[in-house]
Amino acid sequence: MARTRTARLMDGAGLARRIIDTSAAAAADIHGRTGTAPCLATVLVGEDPASVTYVRMKRARCEKAGIRSRHVALPASISTRGLTEKITELSDDPAVHGILLQHPVGRHIDERAAFEAIAPDKDVDGVTTHSFAAMSFGLPGFVSCTPGGIMRLLDEYDVETAGKHAVVVGRSPILGKPAGMLLLSRNATVTYCHSRTSGLSDIVRQADILVAAVGRPHFITGADIKPGAVVVDAGYHPGNVGDVDHASARDRAALITPVPGGVGPMTIAVLLAQTVEAAGRQLGVS
Ligand code: NAP
């Protein structure tokens, strides 16, 4: 029989606000005890308008939470060597506690090499091989912010992951892949789908927990969603459109993240929380 109830919304905006409030209190405590405010360095290569906006937004949230931000704007023409040298400088600078390199950095640059120049204890965006290994092994370390935000949302809504079939559509290094590893470390049975997957709809239909991280508007529709599934839509496209067709998905899912106000705000909240955590450790007060 068809479900007649619509899905409950997972309020990422509200949870993000609470996480940021907690982080702001912790930042003030660190500042009070050490005389030093936590500091996030943001590195932007070029002037891509979306990246400029993302970095501006992240810096504004930091400042509001009592986290200093140091912005490094680099020309689009910078070489891999020039960029890794700059990031190494920040890694060695004791006044900087966290480093965010805004993705993407330009096709001529080896982005992986640039990410690897971030010291693991300052990798508050969870982009280094070290952080990925920690996520995969279930060891302490910083998580990729969007997947970390997704896990916090699942926890907030008491979503059981153990023994559930989690399907992650997308396998990018910053989103799909780590999201799957975090779900696996919580004992979900994880299937990844990507551009070479055959029979994608059939696999998605088996998902108890679906993470859409594919970067294509309305790629997944209600017809592909198992009734009662938990649907996490990480996609974001102009016009507040996600990777899931929300209108049809809501009639099938039990829980679903809205766009906007779902995964997006959680990403920034995790970035701030991890920056404060990094500062606390480096300043010896946590
Ligand atoms: P990405 O690097 O472009 O990766 C997209 C993934 O989807 C790839 O693994 C790709 O497969 C797969 N894919 C593409 N077309 C497909 C198709 N037709 N069928 C099956 N799989 C397909 O994107 P991303 O950076 O992970 O971002 C994904 C989405 O999340 C975007 O909408 C982005 O805006 C959003 N996002 C949101 C946040 C946030 O804070 N809310 C943060 C980051 C990203 P292959 O690996 O085979 O190419």
More confident residue, 3 or 160: 160
**Residue 103 alpha carbon, nearest atom of ligand 1:** 25
Q: Is 68 flagged in the annotation as binding?
A: no
Q: If you measure from the C-alpha of residue 3 to the centroid of ligand 1, how many angstroms do you get, rounded to a whole number?
A: 29
Query: Is any ligand 1 atom within 6 A of the Cβ of residue 176?
Result: yes
Q: Is 172 flagged in the annotation as binding?
A: yes
Radius of gyration of the chain (CA): 19
Q: How far is CA 116 from the centre of its chain?
A: 18
Domains and CATH numbers, the chain: 35-119 (3.40.50.10860), 145-264 (3.40.50.720)
pLDDT band at 265 (very low <50, low <70, confident <90, very high): very high
Cα–Cα distance for residue pair 53/272, rounded to 1 Å: 17
The pLDDT value given to residue 2 = 53
**Other Cβ atoms closer than 10 A to 33:** 12
Q: Is 201 flagged in the annotation as binding?
A: no
- Residue 125 bears catalytic tag: yes
Model confidence over 186-225: pLDDT tens digits? 999 999 999 999 999 999 999 999 999 999 999 999 999 9
Nearest to 232 by CA among 182, 271, 185, 284: 182
Model confidence over 29-39: pLDDT tens digits? 999 999 999 99
Nearest to 102 by CA among 90, 89, 111, 93: 111
Q: If you measure from the C-alpha of residue 205 to the centroid of ligand 1, how many angstroms do you get, rounded to a whole number?
A: 19
Element (H, E) at 100: strand 98-101
If you average pLDDT over residues 61-90, what whole number do you get?
A: 98
**Other Cβ atoms closer than 10 A to 25:** 13
Three-state DSSP class for residue 258: coil
The pLDDT value given to residue 3 = 53
